[in-house]
Structure formats: C-alpha cells, structure tokens
Amino acid sequence: MAKGGFGIDIGGSGIKGAPVDLDRGELLAERLRIPTPQPSVPESVAAAVTALVERFSPCGPIGIALPCVIKQGVAHTAANVDPAWKGTDAASLFTELTGSAVVVLNDADAAGLAEMRFGAGQGRGGVVVLLTFGTGIGSALFLDGELVPNTEFGHLQVDGHDAEHRAAASIKDDEGLSWEQWTDRVSRYLRVLEDLVWPDLIIAGGGVSRRADRWLPLLDCRTEVVPAALRNSAGIVGAAAAGHEGQQADTA
C-alpha cells in the first residue's frame, strides 16, 4: 500500500491542497484551490484551511506550507500574507481547528523537500540550493539531503539592492526586461550567492522555471543550474512529506 499524506500550500492569492502518494511524490487526487481570504489574517486563513481539509477528510497528519519563517511552529515573518501572522503559533492554530496533527514549514522549504525527495535534487549530495523565482525569491538550502530551514537568500544584498528587488521574476514583467536583461541580473545574484555557500547544485523553481529553455542557457555562473521538476505541486508534496515525517518523529 502506498504511503500517503496530505499537503497544503498557502499563498497570497490561493490556498491549494491535495492528498499525496509519498512513495512516488505524486498527487493522489486533483488539487483543490480556494482563494486566500482578504485580509489574510490567521483566523480567516485557518478557517479556509479547515474547510479545504473537510473536503478531503484526510486520516493522517497534515503538512502546511506558509510564506513565513517558521520556528517550532511559530511564524516570525509574513510575506504576501497579513502581518498579523508574525508571532502566531500556526501549528497550534491549525491543529486546533482541523483536529489533526499539523506540521507547518516555510513554503520554499516545502518546495525544496519535494525536489530533493522526488525531483531535480533526488540523489544529489553536497550543498544544494533551491530558488523559487516569483513575486520575490524564496530559497531552501540542503546539506547532503538534510534541510537547513528558513534561509532568506532572496534578501541578500547585491550591489546595494535587496536581491529580489532586482532579480525576482516579477521584476522582469514590471520593468519590461528581455530574457537577456533579466538573466544578467539573475547571474549577478547567483555569483554573490555562490561566494557565500559554494553550492554543488542550484534548482530553479517558480513559475518561470516552465520557460527554463529561454534563460538557463544564458546564465553566467559556475554552479550547475537545473529547472525544478515538480512545478505547481512542489509545495503540496513537500508539505505532505514534512507532515508525515513530523508524525514519525513524534512516535519514534
């Protein structure tokens, strides 16, 4: 029997969830997406998550990815969600309302877990960095397959600017940059990152990874860069994996 879990990926505009086959890293049913409540305060988002969970009635632990730095279940930042999340014990809030054991983690970390278990990072050791290029730049860092949580590499200072203010995918559209112009900025950002952590592999995720053929060949950096493999399901799959592993740790 396949090992199953349930993952939820919370973003600024949508909340997505689905049951996951954790042996294969695949969704067991079509994902359900509901709009993120506005304002996206913790109580409203938790109520929406509860309604989503009730649609599937998962019988095991739940993993939830949030666009926040998460330490011991508590949110310490809030990106693309209401600032009221800062200081919120998200794990306790979701556990209380859903009635299930819940593990909460950063959304980029969830995507990274999925890529390392089932995608572009599978079987890769050493230092691996996942970068999600979207509205901002999210990051996940792995050392020999183990997650180093809550890295914020999108906020590195590059030539006097916050990196994501120059090299996020949204900037390409906002400033009308060509692929070549935008990739020049990404290359500069990656070279700064390389000098800090000397990665063995960089996985490029986010929606722009679907156009990897347009920009990855233009990159000028020393590290191998590959496109993410799991695309829109990465956050859900990684969250489900974290939920399952959290249950294992609790029962060990």
Distance between CA atoms of residues 77 and 73, nearest Å:
12
- 190 and 239 in a single domain? The answer is no
* Amino acid at residue number 1: M
Residue 252: the pLDDT is 37
Q: What are phi and psi of 57, to 5 degrees?
A: 50, 55
Question: Over 50: is that where the pLDDT of 22 sits?
Answer: yes
- Identify whether 78 is part of a domain: yes
Shared domain for 105 and 128, answered yes or no, is no
Domain-located, residue 115: no
Q: What integer pLDDT is reported at residue 2 of this predicted model? A: 61
What confidence tens digit (pLDDT) does each residue in 210-239 have?
999 999 999 999 999 999 999 889 999 999
Residue 247 pLDDT more than 60?
A: no
Here the tokens at position 201 are 């592999």
What is the reported pLDDT for 232? Answer: 86
Between 1 and 187, the higher pLDDT residue: 187
pLDDT mean across residues, the chain: 95
Is the residue at 84 inside a domain? yes
> Which pLDDT does position 243 carry in this prediction?
96
**What pLDDT score was predicted for residue 3?**
82
**Per-residue pLDDT at 138:** 96
Residue 117 lies in a domain: no
- Please determine, for residue 130, whether its predicted confidence score (pLDDT) is greater than 90: yes
% pLDDT > 90, the chain: 91
Residues 128 and 204 in one domain: yes
**Is residue 119's pLDDT more than 90?**
yes
Residue 30: exposed, middle, or buried by beta-carbon count in 10 A (0-12, 13-18, 19+)? exposed
- Mean local confidence (pLDDT), 107-131: 98
CATH number, domain with residue 56: 3.30.420.40
Domain count along the chain: 2
Which range marks the domain in which residue 37 is found? 4-109+232-251
Which pLDDT score, from 0 to 100, does residue 206 have?
Answer: 92
- pLDDT beyond 70 at 248: no
Same domain, yes or no: 49 and 127: no
Convert the pLDDT of each residue in 55-90 to its tens digit.
Answer: 999 888 899 999 999 999 999 999 989 999 999 999
Among the listed residues 126, 121, 127, the one whose alpha carbon sits nearest the alpha carbon of residue 204: 121
Report if residue 66 sits inside a domain. Answer: yes
pTM attached to this predicted model: 0.94
Residues paired with residue 133 on neighbouring β-strands, in sequence order:
137
